[in-house]
Structure 1
Amino acid sequence: MARPRTPIGTFGIITTRRRNSGRYVARTRYRDWDGKGRHVQITGTTRPTAERLLKKKLSERDLFHPGFSGISADSSFPALVSYWLKDMDLEDRLSPTTRLLYERNMRTLVLPFFKEFTLREIGVARCDYFLKQLAKKSYNRARQARVVLRLALGLAVRHEILPRNPMDHVSRLRRPARTPDIFSWEELKAIRAGISAWEHRPIKAGPKPDGQLGQIVEVMLGTSARIGEVLAICLGDLDLDAPIPSVRISGTIVSRKGEPTHRQDHPKTARSVRRVALPGFALRAIGARLEKIRFTHPDTLLFSTRVETPHTTNNIRRQLRDVMDRAGVPDVTPHRFRRTAATAINEIGGLQLASELLGHSDPSITREHYIRRNETVNPITADFLEQAFGRAS
């Protein structure tokens, strides 16, 4: 039967001997951070002094390999941030886009406030104060800061640098009341007219507009897809000859620092892949675009630059904003088309159908962030109340 091992961090019998120099050496065997036993010794002027110094050295010995963490509760918060970023890379669980987003939020939102503190000094009250002050300026920034701060401090807890995560006890962020902004029918007419006027304006020099901006808008409105998802549609995603013409939303356009803009082979989440039936106006826009495409390979992008490279989402947003500024139509963003389409489907077909169109796994996300609540109560209530209380006196 195997002999049970002593726990990590324990030591055996201390032996002490006197050297020729007159100093005493206290020595013992210690089960170290990696489970291996090692001899640890220290010298002192007397036998009791040497034994006391050895016990003190053992009590302070880190049960983690110095190269594994290298930080303690007295380390600075920037040291934990560097350790956390390395741990994320080692784990390799996040997408590159999310990894860059987390690092950006940590460096721009959190680090400036906590950079002068040690980990021991970061408690519930300090975290709570930080988030409340940030929420006064922007709820979304406070929410993003809360995520990365919780993750970094959670790593410190898992690796036994801190005994608890102060983020577990901060007060809940209160989301400000907000009504999702959608376009009215009059605004949509003004947007379409403004884009048409811009695309058909006289051009004295340079290339003429090829109609893509208006076509992209029609497909966004006709599919409720994100701008990156629309720009990532390939010819192989189209099924226009079926009894019900449709498009498969199966990718998105990403632009990361240090990388060329490219098509990612899945949308925001893998569960967002969906096949959407095309309304007539979106089908006509796609048909007009297909007439100008030279290559018919299934991987060819439906919308692309003049040199057949992917559009960046920022360039389309900027172009749309510039065109709408000229037309005098304010606050036109790609995401408003998404919310506008979802609200229309919700009013006609219900919340579940709107959630499916958006590619959401949870209808509550659709209700909270994308649907403008219809304030009009069904007028049949007036008839029912009249029947109940409207008797002649």
Structure 2
Amino acid sequence: MPRQKLRAGQLGTIQTLVLPSGRIQARALLCDDLGVQHRLKASAVTEADAVGDLHTKADALRHATGGAQLTRDSTIAEACEVFLRDKEESGLVEDSTVEAYEASVRNVVIPACGDLLLIDLSVRRCNRILTDIRTDLSLSSARKARSVLSQTCAIAIEHEVLMHNPVRDTRRLPLPEKKESVLTPGQLLIVQDLIRGWRTGPGHSGPRPNVAILEDAMWIMVGTSVRIGEVLALRRTEVDVTTKTPMARFDGTIRYTKKQGLHRKNAPKRTRQKRRIALPSFSAAAMRRRLAVTDSEPEAYLFATRTGKPLSVSNYERLLRTFVDDNQAALQAAGIDVDDFSTHIFRRSTATIVEAKAGIGLASRLLGHADEQVTRRSYVVTEELVDPVTADIMDDAFVDLL
């Protein structure tokens, strides 16, 4: 009877023999993940050690040909490690996204359920885990954990450990509360005046903050609705203020990752969001001010450090937070919500103004969204007052009846 062929990943019968030296040798065939058979040998003082070393070599060869293998004994923590390795090795996920997954795994998922066997992650248990995370940490943490767990279960299905993904059947988590704060043109002028007068009065010692960077970036964000990282990624070569209609091409963003450090990514948040935007007069004026103090090289950044490197998003946001803290009373007096005053308020304000004048379609294109519902749900703040023309329409409908 012919010997049964080994299946992928299977280790054949282990045989042992005593070597002339007195050591014990264990040997067996291993069929790797691609179906190729390998003769493995391992020797040690005792038979148990030799067999153990052979299994270690078999595991290493399986990993080399097919990656880490999940089994029915794998925990969620072990499965998450395989998920993270898969994302990192795929080359399809940005470093910043992988780092966000790692933070969620390390700080949220593993503390919540890392020791649970993967096969025991039922819909009921998953609902309980996500509810506890939401209660103990935050809704945002629960939403990120749900994404990680769902993708980890997808990996487990690929490894034939799970037959279905229990996370997909869990109760939906609520969406984050929509932020409603926007700035009117009048309020933006007040912010400009406060920036220009920031720390200029008596009683302020030490170097003055670079208010020009703060103001110019603000007006570019307001005029184009782009993100702060896209503004800081602007170089001379992407700006043309000599034409009748000044234009800027936004085709990059400034990122920081542990792996690459501070760098320019040659695409916005998503590659499809590259776009050329006509500049309103106040944004063009801000661009001209930046060009006047920028190095003459075509690749020079409009917002650069003294060494010519791009300004980081965190440094700009830190400068903005300091400004808000120092001018809290004046901002509140102008009706501005200081708790929601971040770079995103400029983007949201622009989207709201454009949508009110030209509709959701143009606002969505300006923001670079593929789906208008994203613009409506997260950026446009709808006016409480419905257009009074509805009253005229209804009066006309009943004019001959009442």
Larger radius of gyration: 1
Confirm or deny: 8 A CA contact 1:261 1:312 kept in the other structure: yes
Q: Name the SS of the counterpart of 1:211 in structure 2.
A: helix
Q: Does 1:183 align with 2:183?
A: yes
Q: Deviation at 1:6?
A: 7.0
Between the aligned partners of 1:96 and 1:381, the Cα distance in structure 2 is 51
Match of residue 168 from structure 1? 168
Q: Deviations over 1:316-374 (max 9, x none)?
A: 11111111221123132001100100111111111111111111112111111111112
Distance 1:315 1:32, change over 3 A: closer
Confirm or deny: 8 A CA contact 2:113 2:129 kept in the other structure: no
Q: Deviation at 1:304?
A: 1.1
Confirm or deny: 8 A CA contact 2:154 2:165 kept in the other structure: yes
Higher alpha-carbon deviation: 168-177 or 100-109: 168-177
Aligned-residue identity in percent: 31
Q: Name the SS of the counterpart of 1:254 in structure 2.
A: strand
Confirm or deny: 8 A CA contact 1:109 1:141 kept in the other structure: yes
Match of residue 143 from structure 2? 143
Between the aligned partners of 2:143 and 2:324, the Cα distance in structure 1 is 31
Between the aligned partners of 1:275 and 1:352, the Cα distance in structure 2 is 17
Q: Deviation at 1:113?
A: 0.6
Aligned letter for 1:170? T
Match of residue 255 from structure 1? 256
Q: Deviation at 1:87?
A: 1.9
Between the aligned partners of 1:200 and 1:281, the Cα distance in structure 2 is 24
Structure 2 residue runs of 5 or longer lacking an equivalent are 11-28, 40-57, 332-337
Between the aligned partners of 1:389 and 1:30, the Cα distance in structure 2 is 85
Between the aligned partners of 1:176 and 1:126, the Cα distance in structure 2 is 23
Match of residue 311 from structure 2? 311
Q: Deviations over 1:84-129 (max 9, x none)?
A: 2222222222111111111112222211111221212221111112
Aligned letter for 1:113? A
Match of residue 269 from structure 2? 268
Distance 1:242 1:264, change over 3 A: same
Confirm or deny: 8 A CA contact 2:95 2:259 kept in the other structure: no
Match of residue 365 from structure 2? 356
Between the aligned partners of 1:213 and 1:81, the Cα distance in structure 2 is 41
Match of residue 299 from structure 1? 299
Match of residue 193 from structure 1? 193
Q: Deviation at 1:181?
A: 2.4
Confirm or deny: 8 A CA contact 2:364 2:370 kept in the other structure: yes
Between the aligned partners of 1:208 and 1:180, the Cα distance in structure 2 is 29
Aligned letter for 2:237? G
Between the aligned partners of 2:401 and 2:272, the Cα distance in structure 1 is 59
Between the aligned partners of 1:37 and 1:209, the Cα distance in structure 2 is 67
Q: Deviations over 1:18-39 (max 9, x none)?
A: xxxxxxxxxxx99886535799
Alignment of 1:311-390 (within 5 A): 311-328=311-328, 329=331, 330-331=338-339, 332-389=341-398
Between the aligned partners of 2:211 and 2:181, the Cα distance in structure 1 is 29
Q: Deviation at 1:74?
A: 1.5
Between the aligned partners of 2:63 and 2:262, the Cα distance in structure 1 is 40
Between the aligned partners of 2:368 and 2:283, the Cα distance in structure 1 is 18
Between the aligned partners of 2:195 and 2:145, the Cα distance in structure 1 is 38
Q: Name the SS of the counterpart of 1:93 in structure 2.
A: coil
Q: Deviations over 1:44-74 (max 9, x none)?
A: xxxxxxxxxxxxxxxxx99x94764344111
Q: Name the SS of the counterpart of 1:198 in structure 2.
A: coil
Between the aligned partners of 1:306 and 1:336, the Cα distance in structure 2 is 28
Confirm or deny: 8 A CA contact 1:194 1:324 kept in the other structure: no
Structure 1 residue runs of 5 or longer lacking an equivalent are 12-28, 40-60
Aligned letter for 1:128? N
Alignment of 1:49-68 (within 5 A): 65=62, 68=67
Between the aligned partners of 1:362 and 1:133, the Cα distance in structure 2 is 32
Distance 1:261 1:201, change over 3 A: farther
* TM-score, normalised by the number of residues in structure 1: 0.80
Q: Does 1:155 align with 2:148?
A: no
Aligned letter for 1:123? S
Aligned letter for 1:124? V
Between the aligned partners of 1:191 and 1:289, the Cα distance in structure 2 is 19
Higher alpha-carbon deviation: 137-146 or 270-279: 137-146
Between the aligned partners of 2:164 and 2:113, the Cα distance in structure 1 is 18
Q: Deviations over 1:2-26 (max 9, x none)?
A: xxx97948x9xxxxxxxxxxxxxxx
Between the aligned partners of 1:258 and 1:30, the Cα distance in structure 2 is 36
Q: Deviation at 1:201?
A: 5.1
Between the aligned partners of 2:249 and 2:401, the Cα distance in structure 1 is 60
Q: Deviation at 1:272?
A: 0.8
Confirm or deny: 8 A CA contact 1:199 1:211 kept in the other structure: no
Distance 1:384 1:120, change over 3 A: closer
Q: Name the SS of the counterpart of 2:257 in structure 1.
A: coil
Between the aligned partners of 1:327 and 1:94, the Cα distance in structure 2 is 40
Confirm or deny: 8 A CA contact 2:195 2:211 kept in the other structure: no
Alignment of 1:14-93 (within 5 A): 34-35=34-35, 65=62, 68-93=67-92
* TM-score, normalised by the number of residues in structure 2: 0.79
Aligned letter for 1:335? H
Between the aligned partners of 2:345 and 2:252, the Cα distance in structure 1 is 20
Match of residue 223 from structure 2? 222
Aligned letter for 2:213? Q
Match of residue 98 from structure 1? 97
Q: What CA RMSD, in Å, does the superposition of the two structures yield over aligned residues?
A: 3.1
Q: Deviation at 1:215?
A: 0.6
Aligned letter for 1:268? K
